[in-house]
């Protein structure tokens, strides 16, 4: 059975809204991660320790 024009329009709107949300979400998470890494690098790493090693150490 063929979908009605209304259902097709709703699907297009849904894809646009979800796609926009995902772009915003990825940008926010990426920005937060960059800030977190800079903070850990500046204040929480010990001599010669990488950011990833410091995060692992802090999780314990």
Tracing tokens 């990426």 back to the chain, one arrives at 30
At residue 2, the pLDDT reads 65
pLDDT block averages, 10 residues each, the chain of length 60: 85 97 98 97 94 95
Nearest-angstrom CA–CA distance, 25 and 31: 10
State if pTM tops 0.85. Answer: no
- Nearest CA to 41 out of 49, 33, 32, 29 is that of 49
Using CA atoms of 8, 12, 14, 18 in order, give the dihedral in degrees to the nearest 10: 160
């Amino acid at each position: 059975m063929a979908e009605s024009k209304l259902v097709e329009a709703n699907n297009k709107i849904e894809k646009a809204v979800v796609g926009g949300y995902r772009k915003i979400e990825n940008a926010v998470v990426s920005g937060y991660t960059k800030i977190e890494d800079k903070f850990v690098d500046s204040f929480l790493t010990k001599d010669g320790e990488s950011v990833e090693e410091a995060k692992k150490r802090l999780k314990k």
